[in-house]
Structure 1
Amino acid sequence: MAGSVAEGEEDQKKFCLQEVLDAYKMCLSEDKEVSLQHYVTGWRGLVKLLNSLGSVFSFISKDAVNKIQILVALMAGDSGSHYSTVQLMVEYELQNHLVDLTKRGNHPESGCRTLLRLHRALRWLQLFLESLRTSTEDSKTSTMCSEAYNVSLSQYHPWVVRKAAGMAFCMLPGRQEFFAALNVGSTEQAVAVLGEALPLISEVYQVTEELYAQRNLLDLP
């Protein structure tokens, strides 16, 4: 038991919001190409954050880890050159009929579908962390998290998952503990780093959202 506690503490130490900020700084090129490698790196950091907060977010972090592994395998595969950016991936998979557009069929682990799941979860985290950034001392993390979830990720989850999520959010640590988990210093420093990181995350989200909308990929089964 002592070993598992130590490992949990080590995982929390390994997370630092600055690492996520750095990843998203490098995620977009000058012409708004989204680097899949840096996108995955940013998500690995976000998973560390979720895991550092205990089992509350396990229903999301476990799925995110699975999706990250799929994307990493695609980047490392024989067609890896087509997976260096999100734009290249979308064009390659559509041109080669590697995406199930209307129902799940032969390509349930396509890069487009896999990224879409992370994309949806990123919106929820972006909204939640923005609420946290602008919150006051008496703000409740459970309320902020639930509100962000209800306007983003919840619409893609069945009722039983939404119910479980609502119960899980009630177990969230308080505002100060959340800021401490970001591992960037004081509350003021955490707010400052969030203020720098969230616009970058938002831009990556918007570029991806527009690309998927243009190619009719936002509702992949």
Structure 2
Amino acid sequence: MDTANGAKPLRKISEAFKEIANCINSQNQNTQQLELAPFSSACSLVSPLFRCLGIAFKFAEMDYVAKVNDLCETSKSISTLQSMMEKDIEENCVRKPGSHTRNLLRVKRGLDMVRVLFEEILVSEDNSLKNPASKAYTQVFSPYHGWAVRKAVAAGMYALPTKSQLLQKLNEDEVSAKSEMQSYVTASTLLIVYIDNLFQSRELGIDW
């Protein structure tokens, strides 16, 4: 089952997000600042997951990778998520395509989609990923997509790998995968709430 280089992308993802969750937990709510560099670095580790899901999530992979790349680049000159958002607010460009804050919202949706997917895989006995992936897409992305994209995704669901094939691509067995997935679900839930609060506290909203 081992891939050629023995890489464990799922473990890297869960460890990176666990570290971010620990940072959030260790801070005072009022003075909380989340560093952009480790955040964007952790997000970049998720990209291969979309690739493993195949054509159904091609749109997500392309969009997610582009937005994460922007945040990685931005982290070289801006230190925290908070200061990045404040800069966009000052420049009155929050909702403009290409703004860092808009990209952050899109990246957050990608993380959320993976969270729901993992939650559904953890409670499913089935080897098919169609139901978990459909639920994740419907819950997170579908409200923001037009008919054509929704139709393309629905068609792509039939080309999803099975759970066994996905685990093989990720170089995991069922036991180790469940542990890493649960770890990501726990950490990302905290992070997603944190990001939502950043938007809500600045009255930016999250449904756009």
After TM superposition, give the deviation of residue 173 of structure 1 in Å: 1.1
Structure 1 gaps of 5+ residues are: 1-8
Matched AA of 2:14: L
What residue in structure 1 maps to residue 192 of structure 2?
205
- Pick aligned residue for 2:84 from 81, 89, 98: 89
After TM superposition, give the deviation of residue 220 of structure 1 in Å: 7.2
**RMSD, aligned α-carbons:** 2.2
TM-score w.r.t. the length of structure 2 is 0.85
After TM superposition, give the deviation of residue 115 of structure 1 in Å: 0.5
3-state secondary structure, aligned to 2:45 = helix
Larger relative contact order (Cα-Cα within 8 Å, sequence gap ≥ 6): 2
What residue in structure 1 maps to residue 161 of structure 2?
173
What residue in structure 2 maps to residue 16 of structure 1?
9
3-state secondary structure, aligned to 1:170 = helix
What residue in structure 2 maps to residue 193 of structure 1?
180
Deviations 1:83-106 (A, max 9, x none): 322122222322x224244xx4xx
3-state secondary structure, aligned to 1:151 = helix
What residue in structure 2 maps to residue 160 of structure 1?
148
The runs of at least 4 aligned residues of structure 1 exceeding 4 Å deviation read: 12-15
The answer on 1:148 being equivalent to 2:136 is yes
Counterparts in 2 of 1:66-105, with a 5 A limit? 66-76=66-76, 80=77, 83-94=78-89, 96-101=90-95, 104=96
After TM superposition, give the deviation of residue 169 of structure 1 in Å: 1.6
After TM superposition, give the deviation of residue 179 of structure 1 in Å: 2.5
Cα distance change on mapping 1:219 and 1:189 into 2, 3 Å: closer
After TM superposition, give the deviation of residue 56 of structure 1 in Å: 3.5
Structure 2 gaps of 5+ residues are: none
Cα distance change on mapping 1:55 and 1:15 into 2, 3 Å: farther
Deviates most, 55-64 or 143-152: 55-64
Q: How many residues are matched?
A: 199
